[in-house]
C-alpha cells in the first residue's frame, strides 16, 4: 500500500471513529439528562408527599426548637437521624467496653444532650426576651398607628428604628420575612406561632394572634394591643414585688448556707481542737462525714437551682 493510500485509510478511520464517539457522547448526555430529570422528579414528588403528610406534634416541637434556638440550620428529620446515630454509637461503645445496660444509659444520655442544650439556650433567650415586652408592644402600637394600621409597615419600622430590643427585633424580623414571602393563611399562622414559641409567654401568644389577625384578615388590632400593654404594666408591678420578696431567699441560699458551713468548720477546727488535718479527715475520710457533706451539697445545689428558676422566671401575666 502506497503512502497516499495509507493516508486516505487513516483519514477515513479517524472520521469513522470520531462519528461513533460523537454518537456515544450524545447518547451519554441524553442518558445523563434523563437520570437528572428522574432524580429531580423523584425529589419533587417526595417533597410534595412529605408536605401533604400532616405534621405530628413532636415533629412540630422539634422544628420550632431548631428554628428558634439554632436558626433552622437543619430539619427536624435530620435532627432525629443524627440523634439516633449518636444513640447507636454510644450504645455500641458502652456495650463493648462495659455492658449492655451501661451502653443503653450512655446512649440515652448522649442522645438527649443536643436537645437539652438547645432547650437550655431557648429558655435563657426566652427569659431575656420576655422582659422586652412593654417596649416591644409600645413600639408596635405607635408604629401601627403612624402607618395607618398597616401591620407589615409597622413591624418594619420597629425593626429599623427601635434599638432597645436586641432579641425581639430579630424574632420580629424573621416573622416579617415569612409574612412577606407568603400570602397563605396557614403559613402566616405557623410563622406567628413560631414567634410566640420564641418567647413562650401569654403576652407573646396574644401579640402573635394580633399579628395574624391584622395580616391575614385585615383587622384593626389597636384596641387589643392597648389591652396587652395595660396588662403588662400591671404585671410589671407584680414582678417588682416578687423580686423584693425573693430577696430573703437569695440571702438565705447564696450567703447563709455557705456561711453556716464555714462557721461550723471554724468551730470544729478551733474550738474542738481537731485542726485542719483532723477536720478534713473526719469530713472526707469517714463514712458519716462524707454522707453529711454529700447531703449538704445536694440540698444546697437543689435550693440554688430552684432559686435560679424562680429568679429567671419569664416576665408574663
Quick: pLDDT tens for 284-302. Answer: 777 788 778 777 877 777 7
Tens of pLDDT, residue by residue over 231-268, are: 998 888 877 776 666 666 666 666 777 888 888 888 88
Which cell numbers hold the place of 134?
A: 412593654
From residue 21, how far is each of 7, 14, 35 by CA, in Å? 21, 10, 21
Helix pair angle (151-161, 168-180), 10° resolution: 140
Q: Which of 13-22, 80-89, 301-310 has the highest mean pLDDT?
A: 80-89
Q: Are 207 and 196 in contact (CB under 8 A)?
A: yes
Q: Is the pLDDT of residue 38 over 80?
A: no
Where is pLDDT greater, at 11 or 186?
A: 186
Q: Are 125 and 69 in contact (CB under 8 A)?
A: yes
The pLDDT score that the predictor gives to residue 311 is 64
The pLDDT score that the predictor gives to residue 223 is 92
Alpha-carbon distance of 300 to 19, in angstroms, equals: 86
The mean pLDDT value for 143-153 works out to 92
From residue 47, how far is each of 41, 62, 80, 181, 283 by CA, in Å? 10, 19, 18, 19, 63
Handedness of CA 9, 14, 15, 20 (dihedral sign): positive
Q: What is the DSSP track for 200-268? A: -SHHHHHHHHHHHHHHHS----HHHHHHHHHHHHHHHHHHHHHHHHTHHHHHIIIIIHHHHHHHHHHII
The pLDDT score that the predictor gives to residue 303 is 72
Mean of the per-residue pLDDT values for the chain?
Answer: 81
Q: Is the pLDDT of residue 3 over 60?
A: no
The mean pLDDT value for 156-174 works out to 90
Where is pLDDT greater, at 244 or 198?
A: 198
Where is pLDDT greater, at 63 or 98?
A: 63
The pLDDT score that the predictor gives to residue 59 is 83
Which cell numbers hold the place of 76?
A: 427536624
Give the confidence band of 151 by pLDDT, cuts at 50, 70, 90. Answer: very high
Q: Is the pLDDT of residue 282 over 70?
A: yes
Q: Is the pLDDT of residue 61 over 70?
A: yes
Helix pair angle (257-266, 287-311), 10° resolution: 160
The mean pLDDT value for 155-168 works out to 90
Q: Is 167 helix (H, G, I), strand (E, B) or coil?
A: coil
Range with the lowest mean pLDDT among 93-102, 138-147, 212-221? Answer: 93-102
The pLDDT score that the predictor gives to residue 111 is 87
Q: Are 118 and 70 in contact (CB under 8 A)?
A: yes
The mean pLDDT value for 122-141 works out to 88
CB atoms within 10 A of CB 249: 14
From residue 178, how far is each of 12, 53, 58, 171, 261 by CA, in Å? 64, 21, 22, 11, 55
Amino acid at each position: 500500500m502506497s503512502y497516499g493510500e495509507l493516508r486516505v485509510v487513516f483519514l477515513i478511520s479517524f472520521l469513522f471513529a470520531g462519528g461513533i464517539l460523537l454518537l456515544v457522547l450524545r447518547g451519554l448526555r441524553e442518558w445523563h439528562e434523563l437520570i437528572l430529570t428522574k432524580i429531580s422528579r423523584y425529589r419533587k414528588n417526595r417533597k410534595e408527599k412529605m408536605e401533604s403528610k400532616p405534621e405530628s406534634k413532636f415533629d412540630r416541637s422539634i422544628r420550632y426548637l431548631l428554628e428558634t434556638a439554632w436558626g433552622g440550620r437543619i430539619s427536624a428529620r435530620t435532627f432525629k437521624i443524627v440523634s439516633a446515630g449518636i444513640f447507636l454509637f454510644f450504645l455500641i461503645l458502652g456495650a463493648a467496653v462495659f455492658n449492655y445496660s451501661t451502653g443503653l444509659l450512655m446512649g440515652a444520655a448522649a442522645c438527649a444532650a443536643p436537645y437539652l442544650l438547645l432547650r437550655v439556650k431557648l429558655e435563657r433567650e426566652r427569659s431575656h426576651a420576655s422582659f422586652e415586652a412593654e417596649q416591644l408592644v409600645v413600639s408596635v402600637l405607635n408604629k401601627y398607628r403612624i402607618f395607618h394600621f398597616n401591620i407589615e409597615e409597622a413591624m418594619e419600622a420597629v425593626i429599623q428604628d427601635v434599638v432597645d430590643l436586641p432579641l425581639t427585633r430579630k424574632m420580629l424580623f424573621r416573622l416579617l420575612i415569612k409574612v412577606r414571602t407568603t400570602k397563605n393563611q396557614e403559613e402566616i399562622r405557623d410563622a406567628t406561632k413560631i414567634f410566640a414559641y420564641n418567647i413562650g409567654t401569654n403576652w407573646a401568644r396574644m401579640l402573635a394572634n394580633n399579628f395574624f389577625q391584622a395580616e391575614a384578615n385585615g383587622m384593626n388590632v389597636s384596641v387589643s394591643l392597648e389591652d396587652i400593654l395595660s396588662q403588662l404594666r400591671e404585671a410589671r408591678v407584680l414582678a417588682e414585688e416578687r423580686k423584693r420578696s425573693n430577696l430573703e431567699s437569695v440571702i438565705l441560699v447564696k450567703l447563709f448556707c455557705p456561711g453556716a458551713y464555714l462557721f461550723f468548720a471554724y468551730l470544729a477546727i478551733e474550738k474542738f481542737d481537731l485542726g485542719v488535718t483532723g477536720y478534713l479527715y473526719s469530713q472526707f475520710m469517714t463514712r458519716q462525714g462524707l454522707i453529711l457533706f454529700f447531703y449538704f451539697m445536694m440540698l444546697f445545689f437543689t435550693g440554688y437551682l430552684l432559686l435560679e428558676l424562680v429568679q429567671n422566671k419569664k416576665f408574663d401575666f
